[in-house]
Amino acid sequence: MLENADLDYLNGLNPPQREAVENVQGPSMIIAGAGSGKTRVLTYRIAHLIKKHNVDPFNILSLTFTNKAAKEMRNRVEDVVGTDARNLWMGTFHSVFSRILRSEADKLGYPSHFTIYDADDSKSLIKQIVKSFGLDDKVYKPNVVFNRISSAKNRLVSWQEYTNNPVYLADDTENGKPEMGKIYREYATRCFKADAMDFDDLLFNTNVLFRDHIDVLNKYQQRFHYVMVDEFQDTNISQYVITKKLAAVRRNICIVGDDAQSIYAFRGADIQNILNFEKDYPELKIIKLEQNYRSSKTIVNAANSVITKNKNQLRKSVWTDNNEGDLIELIKATTDNEEGKLVASAIFESKANNQYKNADFAILYRTNSQSRAMEEALRRNNIKYQIVGGLSFYQRKEIKDLLGYIRYSVNQNDEQALRRIINLPKRGIGGTSVDKLFVVANEQNLDLWTILENAKNVIGGRTATAIDGFVTTIKSFKLAVEKKDAFEAASQIAKNSGLMKELYDDKTIEGRNRYENVQELLNGIKEFVDNPENEDKSMSAFLQEIALLTDADNKDKDEDKDVVTMMTIHMAKGLEFKNVFVVGMEEDLFPSQMMISSRQDLEEERRLFYVAITRAETKLYLSYALTRYRFGRLKTCEPSRFLEEIDKDFLKFNAKMSSTPSPGDQYAKTFISTVQRTVPKPPPNQLFHKPSADFRPSDTSKLAIGNKVEHPKFGFGQVTEIDIQGANKKAHISFEKAGDKTLLLSFAKLRILD
């Protein structure tokens, strides 16, 4: 510890920020707007604890939303306090608590090398269970079942409580899925048998650990003298309870967040946690930060004008001393491809005019699939980019295959890994034989490994011989994993499993790529082994580390490269860029049609828009297309309602666009009339409509309110009401151009668009 504490860093803070940093004893809460320095305060607070109060970094726990954020924070703290910062407990909830679970696993009946199932593993297990129960996987969709189980776990509802509580059964029965509880039970049982935890288990089981083992809870309460949580608005109940328990004795807890940026309610995050926090700690010190340091006045005010439309929020004012800045630029494109082109050329021009680098730009979208059109345009313009999230390195098949082998060599009960590799490369062990082995293992309550070792008793002939060969191979891998370092063991597994050879023999470009990817994985393991910061160099430590990478943590080390960043808005939380494009500002896409079924959902989408706007420092662009291919079909799109919610004073149309709005482009019309004060002439024939090339009348017997339709003469519209009088079914349709019409369905030719 430094003796003459050099507290210069405190000068980089305004008075309330400084107060938040210096006020280290007791509970405190900073709920403040975007860009007001919340994360900066946490970072400085940690440095301050170490420098001024001589707190051992080992006693400080700081929870962040991504591993990347943790790494950045650690680096910044290191700048102030030196290498001591390495001992901080810093990371996501999942990574910190899986580390704790590993050392306490035996108390829960798990080995310390337990496997972490990713979402794919979980869903394929659910699929297998649904099938084995003879249920229909169109009704019990793996995704839906998975979300239901996940949401139960995040509310700390165990399968026992779930199956004993008639409310859940009633709920599931009403949704046509009465067997949900049974599936949950089987799923939990199978995970436990496989020595595996899924992501939600990492939090759920931490809660079980702290609930049932007071001595363990005590140990960690003593260890963590100071607890801090960033992005607190996105914690779920399970995370909340963990935090609360850990801080219960010393009560030195500091949470920071912004209710206006809560965007994970759909995954169980609960804004209520902020409100409960006040109740839990009556002595709570609340600190407000109102000055935004990130963005121009225009951007801050535009963001404010949007978020005030939400009823459900803590009112706070955010202002900035920064420049007025440029108006927000609106880009209208005819198609999604043109949208890509316009964005790429705007980047190109802005770079030329302002001497920006690629890294000064980010393109944000609502869903990953929107990246395609952007990518093509950027590539054509030779603008380098990287996509954060999406199909990550570790999701690639060849990587999952090798990891499957590695996982199975570490844990022979890992059912999902075994299913993946047992016949890979092909060795004549068919699916039916595998299923049979699983059934017998279940019936006789034996673990899989025992069954495999005694395959001859269950299965005859050549299959049994093949399984024997597999068992011998795995035994040698198991030995390698136990005796050698992770890199040597992995190299041996890659070679002797036959995976490398198979990829090497594939001389296509894709095959080459896959081979190189596997090499890259081995490089990654070597790096892990060589890194002095990693104390535990075992294979299971490596597996744990990569299992916990969040989508925002890029494997591809492009951080220092000069590239445009593309990602979903969810991934962009907490980040900032000089120039930001928010693309696909269209109804049904953003706000997302799939997500909004209530006012609350719409408010969540609006908060997401608020997050998007507030990522920009100097310039924000919003773009939309009038038509877009979605789910393989060309759809006409309306500009997003969010565009109308921004105060018009902050907007301008991109000068490069065709200035005449297309007929029916209502938003462009009102926009131009209010901003450019030129009223466009209405199209000469309101009723003129040319049916789409693929126009075919649909079966209208299932037509429902809200359906979008096309009529060969009246054009596009939406069903507002349906009347049934005897055999006559009438639909009231509000057409974009032709106005409201009532049509008799037995005669009307309508194409249903969704």
Ligand X SMILES: Nc1ncnc2c1ncn2[C@@H]1O[C@H](COP(=O)(O)OP(=O)(O)OP(=O)(O)O)[C@@H](O)[C@H]1O
**Residue set of the binding site:** 32-39
Least Å distance, CB 29 to Mg ion, is 15
In which residue are the tokens 């306490």 written?
A: 104
Q: Which does 13 bind (CB under 5 to 8 A by kind): Mg ion, ligand X, none?
A: ligand X
CA distance 421 to 499: 10
Residue of 172, 195, 230, 604 with catalytic role: 230
In which residue are the tokens 């260890």 written?
A: 223
Sign of the CA dihedral 444, 450, 452, 456?
Answer: negative
Residue of 64, 92, 239, 261 with catalytic role: 261
**552/731 with CB nearer ligand X:** 552
**38/607 with CB nearer Mg ion:** 38
- Asked if residue 39 binds Mg ion (CB under 5 A), the reply is yes
**145/575 with CB nearer ligand X:** 575
CA distance 411 to 125: 17
Residue nearest to ligand X (CB): 37
Instruction: Assign 653 to helix, strand or coil.
Output: strand
In which residue are the tokens 């609350």 written?
A: 600
Q: Which does 34 bind (CB under 5 to 8 A by kind): ligand X, Mg ion, none?
A: ligand X
Q: Which does 84 bind (CB under 5 to 8 A by kind): ligand X, Mg ion, none?
A: none
**39/313 with CB nearer Mg ion:** 39
Binding pattern for the stretch 552-571 against Mg ion, x by CB under 5 A and - elsewhere: --------------------
Q: Which residues are annotated as a binding site for ATP?
A: 32-39
**543/575 with CB nearer Mg ion:** 575
When computed from its CA atoms, the radius of gyration of the chain, rounded to whole angstroms, is: 29
Residue 39 among the catalytic residues? yes
In which residue are the tokens 């990654």 written?
A: 524
Least Å distance, CB 356 to ligand X, is 17
Instruction: Assign 292 to helix, strand or coil.
Output: strand
Residue of 51, 148, 615, 630 with catalytic role: 615
Residue of 17, 39, 128, 243 with catalytic role: 39
Please state whether the peptide bond connecting residue 15 to the residue before it is cis, i.e. omega within 30 degrees of 0: no
Q: Which two tokens stand for residue 286?
A: 């609340």
Please state whether the peptide bond connecting residue 57 to the residue before it is cis, i.e. omega within 30 degrees of 0: no
**60/612 with CB nearer ligand X:** 612
Residue nearest to Mg ion (CB): 39
Q: CA 18 from chain center: how many Å?
A: 33
- Asked if residue 296 binds Mg ion (CB under 5 A), the reply is no
**37/91 with CB nearer ligand X:** 37
Q: Which residue among 27, 325, 574, 664 contacts Mg ion (CB under 5 A)?
A: 574
Least Å distance, CB 256 to ligand X, is 7
Q: Which does 36 bind (CB under 5 to 8 A by kind): ligand X, Mg ion, none?
A: ligand X
CA distance 485 to 635: 55
Number of residues that bind Mg ion (CB under 5 A): 3
Least Å distance, CB 149 to ligand X, is 31
Angle value at C-alpha 236, between 75 and 173, nearest 5 degrees: 150
Q: Which does 664 bind (CB under 5 to 8 A by kind): Mg ion, ligand X, none?
A: none
Least Å distance, CB 77 to ligand X, is 14
Pick the piece of the chain touching Mg ion (CB under 5 A) from 112-120, 330-338, 572-580, 618-626: 572-580
CA distance 303 to 607: 10
Residue of 172, 195, 231, 605 with catalytic role: 231
Q: Which residues bind ligand X (CB under 6 A)?
A: 12-14, 17, 34-40, 258, 261, 293-294, 574, 576, 614
Residue 38 among the catalytic residues? yes
Least Å distance, CB 34 to Mg ion, is 8
**34/402 with CB nearer ligand X:** 34
Least Å distance, CB 158 to ligand X, is 34
Q: Residue 692 corresponds to which amino acid?
A: S
Least Å distance, CB 225 to ligand X, is 24
CA distance 735 to 716: 6
CA distance 158 to 218: 24
Q: Which does 14 bind (CB under 5 to 8 A by kind): Mg ion, ligand X, none?
A: ligand X
DSSP annotation of 236 reads: B
What stretch of H or E contains 661?
Answer: none
Q: Strands 633-636 and 627-630: what pairing?
A: antiparallel
CA distance 526 to 331: 47
**28/221 with CB nearer ligand X:** 28
Least Å distance, CB 261 to Mg ion, is 9
Angle value at C-alpha 613, between 369 and 33, nearest 5 degrees: 130
Q: Which does 630 bind (CB under 5 to 8 A by kind): Mg ion, ligand X, none?
A: none
Q: Which does 293 bind (CB under 5 to 8 A by kind): ligand X, Mg ion, none?
A: ligand X
Report whether 574 contacts 65 (CB < 8 A): yes
Q: What region, left, alpha or beta, does residue 390 occupy, with left being phi > 0 and alpha being psi -120 to 50 degrees?
A: left
Q: CA 649 from chain center: how many Å?
A: 33
Residue 244 among the catalytic residues? no
What stretch of H or E contains 106?
Answer: none
Instruction: Assign 189 to helix, strand or coil.
Output: helix
Binding pattern for the stretch 335-354 against Mg ion, x by CB under 5 A and - elsewhere: --------------------
Q: Residue 201 corresponds to which amino acid?
A: D
Q: Exposed, middle or buried, 116 (CB in 10 Å: 0-12/13-18/19+)?
A: buried
Q: Which two tokens stand for residue 681?
A: 């002439």
Residue 231 among the catalytic residues? yes
Residue of 38, 294, 366, 708 with catalytic role: 38
Question: What is the longest distance spanned by two Cα atoms in the chain?
Answer: 90
Q: Which does 94 bind (CB under 5 to 8 A by kind): ligand X, Mg ion, none?
A: none
**13/274 with CB nearer ligand X:** 13
Q: Which does 258 bind (CB under 5 to 8 A by kind): ligand X, Mg ion, none?
A: ligand X
CA distance 102 to 579: 42
Q: How many residues does the chain have?
A: 754
Least Å distance, CB 574 to Mg ion, is 4
- Asked if residue 717 binds Mg ion (CB under 5 A), the reply is no
Sheet containing 253-257, strands listed edge to edge, beginning at the edge strand earlier in sequence: 89-92, 60-64, 226-229, 253-257, 28-31, 285-287
Give residues with Cβ within 8 angstroms of 388, minimum separation 6: 551, 552, 554, 565, 566, 567, 571
CA distance 68 to 401: 26
CA distance 245 to 545: 25
Binding residues vs Mg ion (CB under 5 A): 38-39, 574
Active site members: 38-39, 230-231, 261, 615
